[in-house]
Structure 1
């Protein structure tokens, strides 16, 4: 039986992936941060085993490794999906450093901590039975195209892109593949949470106040009109099972305008396009 551990499985992409993979015969270890979220997952699918694990808490990661190791009974873990993440809007010139650091604690250091802890189960411990597993890191279109006012989030996703490529090359001797999936807009609560945090934005009376308001409108609309998370879950399964998986998948709505063209244009052109879209005043 295929087995997978998914972080950030209480909602959005993580929950959709847990349900999708369980319904396709996988045994899913779904990591959540509360007993309430664990109970909700217990009711969904018998092949989902919720684990209380905050990716920033080493003792919870260690406990999760022990639990999964017992369940595997000497076999390798088929897959690890690093999905847990946070996003909060704000101009980098003013965003509190503690808030910026918190993004790295969850989105980067948390992902690496979990990966390091589970690599033995994925096949670095060569005494385990079965094929080496795969690591799937959920990044973002923002991991390649950085938007204004999501600098903290985009910075972490750029970091995870680099982490993914370096780790994949380092793990070649063990046969453990490491793959990035960088979705565009997805119908996920992460942007609703961002909206709640920014309803009383501390930046309203700054030079970026109106631009942040416009940016929020565009981002929240994109999130609500984006791909259903089940579409990303299907891509995750492909990355975990394909005989020849890509190193990076980019499931992006309106791919030509939101991905292909901006990636090929000069960055100064993209600067001007974003300034116009988000009502950013351009001096000079």
Structure 2
């Protein structure tokens, strides 16, 4: 089946990625849904599952070859680099291999996918092809105990900014999506990650950070109910892909906008205390 335009989306098994696939296919856009487990992609005439682990450059190239062969007369409108993970814990004690894994998925993997698909966007894209990255308000405001995650999102934003300016002469548009709390299964995974982190920390870490980590655990448990639906982020992704004037950065949702504004306007000492107070509400 062919339509005039197609989009590749990574990390589509759940949450934001799945919502983006549903939003695009509902509007008649052909979607290549990239996942590690093909069985997680729902059957739909406009959706083609693509096997892709973003940490493998070889799989990224293989996925690009598959999409190139399958496009037919369709144009590749753009790619949405949505795949990501969240790793946390006190930076004083966190395992360095976990920090490396965080960057491998949230930054290096995004570059690998983008490199693999840029030739197709140049050859079989429209005059203004789009590249979209799912970032986070954590790229602007780093909460305690999610240092690796926030660092990876800060790095992602910096990379996207450079990419946006590098590709401007060829008409490319590059955008980042920056939601705050989104109601997705990632919070269940985060709760499990907190428990795993606690189990692997040395006694000294529990002595120093145990109370704060327990507050974080409660905060994570309550976050899913307080978040915006992933469809709101999907709407922002759709705008970034198809609007005549896409934004470079999308602060998605009231929480993200208010957090960014408070961070910019308040003295850092005041804002730091507010962040700690919010985390302790758990």
Secondary structure of residue in 2 paired with 1:77: strand
Matched with 1:221 is 222
User: Using a 3 Å threshold, how does the CA distance of structure 1 residues 62 and 88 change in structure 2: closer, same or farther?
Assistant: same
Matched with 1:175 is 171
Match of 2:188 among 174, 192, 212: 192
User: Using a 3 Å threshold, how does the CA distance of structure 1 residues 158 and 66 change in structure 2: closer, same or farther?
Assistant: same
Output the TM-score relative to the length of structure 1: 0.90
Runs of 4+ in 1 over 4 A off after TM superposition: none
Matched with 1:113 is 112
Alignment length (residue pairs): 273
Match of 1:24 among 6, 9, 27: 27
- Segments of 5+ residues of structure 2 without an aligned counterpart are none
CA positional deviation for 1:255: 4.9
Kindly indicate whether the alpha-carbon contact (under 8 Å) linking 1:145 and 1:263 is maintained by their aligned counterparts in 2.
no
Output the TM-score relative to the length of structure 2: 0.91
Deviations 1:133-178 (A, max 9, x none): 1000110000001111000000000001101110000001111111
CA distance in 2 between counterparts of 1:207 and 1:274 reads 19
Return 254-263 or 28-37, whichever deviates more: 254-263
Aligned-residue CA RMSD (Å)? 1.8
CA positional deviation for 1:36: 2.3
Secondary structure of residue in 2 paired with 1:166: helix
Matched with 2:210 is 209
User: Using a 3 Å threshold, how does the CA distance of structure 1 residues 104 and 254 change in structure 2: closer, same or farther?
Assistant: closer
CA distance in 1 between counterparts of 2:22 and 2:232 reads 12
Matched with 1:274 is 275
Structure with the largest fraction of helix: 2
CA distance in 2 between counterparts of 1:51 and 1:129 reads 19
Matched with 2:92 is 93
User: Using a 3 Å threshold, how does the CA distance of structure 1 residues 256 and 13 change in structure 2: closer, same or farther?
Assistant: closer
CA positional deviation for 1:242: 0.8
